[in-house]
Amino acid sequence: DGGITQSPKYLFRKEGQNVTLSCEQNLNHDAMYWYRQDPGQGLRLIYYSQIVNDFQKGDIAEGYSVSREKKESFPLTVTSAQKNPTAFYLCASSIDLSQPQHFGDGTRLSIL
């Protein structure tokens, strides 16, 4: 079955540590996205990528970094510069402008 796989499902970060969240898709989609979800705030866009080796900042990119070396993969790094990283992180992909986004099951990040 085609879909989006996010790992791990739960992740803990120590103060001052960088952590990387994985997102892999086998839908052959060109566009991929990272969102952050906090209670009562909906989804906020962190980064998105239209094609391989290209990505753009979203609304809340500070303290995060991404790479898009392969079409299937769009990992997100939460750096130590992100002072409030505790949240639910969702990865999504879409084939083109007119099609809706497909979502992974998310990674919940917590601070130790």
Partner 1 sequence: AQSVTQLDSQVPVFEEAPVELRCNYSSSVSVYLFWYVQYPNQGLQLLLKYLSGSTLVKGINGFEAEFNKSQTSFHLRKPSVHISDTAEYFCAVSDHGRGSTLGRLYFGRGTQLTVWP
Whichever of 97 and 112 has its CB closer to partner 1, that residue is 97
* Per CB under 8 A, 84 contacts partner 1: no
Q: Which of residues 14-33 bind partner 1 (CB under 8 A)?
A: 31, 33
Is residue 78 within 8 A of residue 13, CB to CB? The reply is yes
Question: Distance between CA 12 and CA 83 in Å, rounded?
Answer: 14
Q: Which of residues 30-69 bind partner 1 (CB under 8 A)?
A: 31, 33, 40-45, 48, 50, 56
Question: Distance between CA 42 and CA 92 in Å, rounded?
Answer: 15
CB atoms within 10 A of CB 84: 9
CB of 15 to partner 1, least distance (A): 25
Count of residues touching partner 1 (by CB under 8 A): 27
